[in-house]
């Protein structure tokens, strides 16, 4: 039975990360996430706070290696 090859598992992306993280289009391998605090309790938040929460933020480059492990197919 020499040369028998076992099955190799598929490389999967983490579903939770796929929903939250997007790769930027600049090609430098940077990532973008949405800010928190824009889903509920909006009446008591100021206009400025809600406006700033609409924008995404760039993930710090120190987290790039972790994100690439979570999203190998991105």
CB-CB contact of 54 with 66 (8 Å): no
Reported pTM? 0.70
Residues in the chain: 74
Residue ranges per domain, the chain? 15-37+45-70
What is the sign of the dihedral through the CA atoms of 14, 18, 20 and 22?
Answer: positive
- Residue 11, both tokens: 């490389």
Dist. CA 32–CA 30, nearest whole Å? 7
CA dihedral 34, 25, 68, 59 (to 10 degrees): -40
pLDDT of 58 reads 92
Q: Compute the average pLDDT of residues 12-17.
A: 92
Q: Compute the average pLDDT of residues 41-56.
A: 92
Q: Compute the average pLDDT of residues 46-50.
A: 94
């Amino acid at each position: 039975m020499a040369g028998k090859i076992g099955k190799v598992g598929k490389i999967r992306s983490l579903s939770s990360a796929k929903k939250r993280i997007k790769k930027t289009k600049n090609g430098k391998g940077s990532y973008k996430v949405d800010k928190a605090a824009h889903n509920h309790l909006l009446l008591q938040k100021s206009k400025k706070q809600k406006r700033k929460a609409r924008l995404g933020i760039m993930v710090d480059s120190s987290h790039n290696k972790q994100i690439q492990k979570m999203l190998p197919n991105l």
